[in-house]
Amino acid sequence: MIQLSFAPSRIKSSDSLKISGSKSESNRLLILQSLYPEISLQNLSNSRDTLVLQEVLLSKERIIDVGHAGTAMRFLTAYLALNTKTPVILQGSNRMHQRPIEVLVDALQSLGAKITYLNNQGYPPLKIEPSVITKGEVYLKASVSSQYITALMLIAPKLNNGLKINLIGKITSFPYLTMTSQLMKQAGFDVKFNNQVIRVFSSKSVSSKQITIESDWTSASYIYVAFLLSSMQKLRLSLYFQNSKQGDAYVVKFFKQFGIITSYYENELILEKENVAFPKHLQLDLIQTPDLAQTFAVLGLVLGIKMDIKGLSTLKIKETDRIEALKSEMEKLGAQVKTTVDTLKFTSPTSLQPNQLIRTYQDHRMAMAFALVAFKTSVKIEAPEVVEKSYPNFWRDLQKFGIQELA
Ligand SMILES: O=C(O)C1=C[C@@H](OP(=O)(O)O)[C@@H](O)[C@H](O)C1
Ligand SMILES: C=C(OP(=O)(O)O)C(=O)O
């Protein structure tokens, strides 16, 4: 547990931060690099989820444990189904064993993969045995997790006839699919994405390529809030590109309504402030950017904004049930919260309850979002080390904005 408080005198008027590479981009590119060693990478993420995947891709272990890393679990299921020469067990944390994987396993089995459930039908742990994938077309439901679709896309160029992926129903977390498609094209693969159909053509090899991974935009979302709530006037953030592949680059547009003006200079973002009247009531649909839900909800809470958030259907199967976790912890601070399976509505109190212990449910985004409460009142955060999953330098970076740990 750590207790946080705000020391405004510690803030400089201007500063710079380097955030490490996007975990989503890194984990896609590590799988591609393992299949096509011609690809080399720069600015790889230092997140635990990326380190775990990197270690697994280099090891010859028969029991593979990915911990809490959802992308590693899903991407490796497809990768091992294609690639393993011996039977392997793919497992994760207790929570990972409650996160569904049936849509992906069904799709891979329909292509000829040999995968069995070791515990509960539809959930990890999995046993994956060597097989030969000969088919070239697959159908799968697109509304549960986009990661299943990305997993298939990443192995598709290694299949003899490539892969035609037919998406059934509403597509969730869509920008993560365009990210996969754009990164694959940048690496030299032939990918076509039209409405509900993705085609990936077979590639024996690609020409040598060095790819620089853009830094993580979801991580940047916490820094935008810290910048907004502190007295800092100018901040430079790197490495960010004007044409981002990450849907969470939406934060640029979102924070404009709070007076943060973002400009690009070479590979840096420059954040500056202008005076605007903040919104009092916000309606948001986060179906495209689910990982921003906690950042935006806590921002609303600390600024006294009434929020109606929809598009949260995937939040129940992430690191924790994020809808219920948000409700419980926001209520401790004084908010009035109503939830459904895919919405969160709340009114914020005029002043926040001080010194509350915020539970983090082994979810990095709970810890990072609720740490931002410290700008208004002192707060205690359970298990602060959870941030390592995506942003190991979070606590160090937050200090620049005057957030101090009380001894
Ligand atoms: O492909 C990816 O890198 C991700 C896709 C999203 O998951 P869903 O598609 O399951 O919503 C997102 O929440 C996750 O943090 C990373
Ligand atoms: C949901 C997340 O990750 P994953 O699904 O990859 O565990 C996240 O980082 O917020």
Q: Write down the pTM of the prediction.
A: 0.98
Cβ 288 vs Cβ 311: under 8 Å: yes
Give the 3-state secondary structure of residue 349.
coil
Q: Single out the residue in 145, 178, 212 at which a domain terminates.
A: 212
Q: Are residues 114 and 228 located together in one domain of the fold? A: no
Q: For residues 234 and 243, is the Cβ–Cβ distance under 8 A?
A: no
* Interface ipTM: 0.99
How do strand 356-358 and strand 379-381 relate by DSSP bridges?
parallel
Number of domains in the chain: 2
Residues 69 and 164 in one domain: yes
Strand order in the sheet with 137-141: 137-141, 163-168, 197-200, 191-194
Could you tell me if 45 and 100 lie in one domain?
yes
Ligand 2: residue whose CA is nearest its atom 1: 318
Q: Answer whether 300 contacts ligand 2 (Cβ < 6 A).
A: no
How far apart (Å, rounded) are the C-alpha atoms in residues 281 and 308?
8
Query: Per residue of the chain (407 residues), what is the pLDDT tens digit?
Result: 999 999 998 899 999 999 999 999 999 999 999 999 999 999 999 999 999 999 999 999 999 999 999 999 999 999 999 999 999 999 999 999 999 999 999 999 999 999 999 999 999 999 999 999 989 999 999 999 999 999 999 999 999 999 999 999 999 999 999 999 999 999 999 999 999 999 999 999 999 999 999 999 999 999 999 999 999 999 999 999 999 999 999 999 999 999 999 999 999 999 999 999 999 999 999 999 999 999 999 999 999 999 999 999 999 999 999 999 999 999 999 999 999 999 999 999 999 999 999 999 999 999 999 999 999 999 999 999 999 999 999 999 999 999 999 87
Neighbours of 267 (CB within 10 A): 15
Q: Is the CB of 318 under 6 A from ligand 2?
A: yes
Domain boundary among 186, 212, 238: 212
* The residue type at 314: T
Pocket lining: 365 vs ligand 2, CB cutoff 6 Å: yes
Q: How far is CA 309 from CA 48, 145, 148, in A?
A: 29, 19, 25
User: Same structural domain for residues 229 and 113?
Assistant: no
CATH code where residue 389 lies: 3.65.10.10
Catalytic positions, please?
291
Residues 304, 355 within the same domain: yes
52 in the same domain as 183: yes
Under 8 Å between Cβ of 34 and 55: no
Dihedral angle at the C-alpha atoms of 236, 242, 244, 248, nearest 10 degrees? 50
Which residues span the domain enclosing 131? 23-212
Ligand 2 centroid to residue 147 C-alpha, Å: 10
User: Which among 187, 212, 237 is the end of a domain?
Assistant: 212
On whether both 107 and 14 belong to a single domain, the answer is no
> Cis omega (within 30 of 0) on the bond before 349?
no
The three-class DSSP label of residue 71 is helix
17 SS3 class: strand
| Rg from Cα positions in the chain | 21
Residue keyed to tokens 């707060």: 379
Round to whole Å and give the CA distance between 78 and 99. 16
92/169 same-domain check: yes
Nearest to 67 by CA among 294, 315, 316, 319: 319
Give residue 318 CA to ligand 2 midpoint distance, Å.
Answer: 6
**Residue 244 and residue 155 share a domain:** no
CB of 146 closer than 6 angstroms to any ligand 1 atom: yes
207 and 264 assigned to the same domain: no
Q: Whose CA is nearest to atom 3 of ligand 1?
A: 24
Contact (CB, 8 A) for 199 and 138 = no
Whole-angstrom Cα distance, residue 75 to residue 154? 8
If asked whether residues 303 and 396 sit together in one domain, one would say: yes
The two three-digit tokens of residue 246, written as one number? 């990450």
Please indicate, yes or no, whether residues 384 and 400 belong to a single structural domain of this protein. Answer: yes
Residue 351 marked as a ligand binder: no
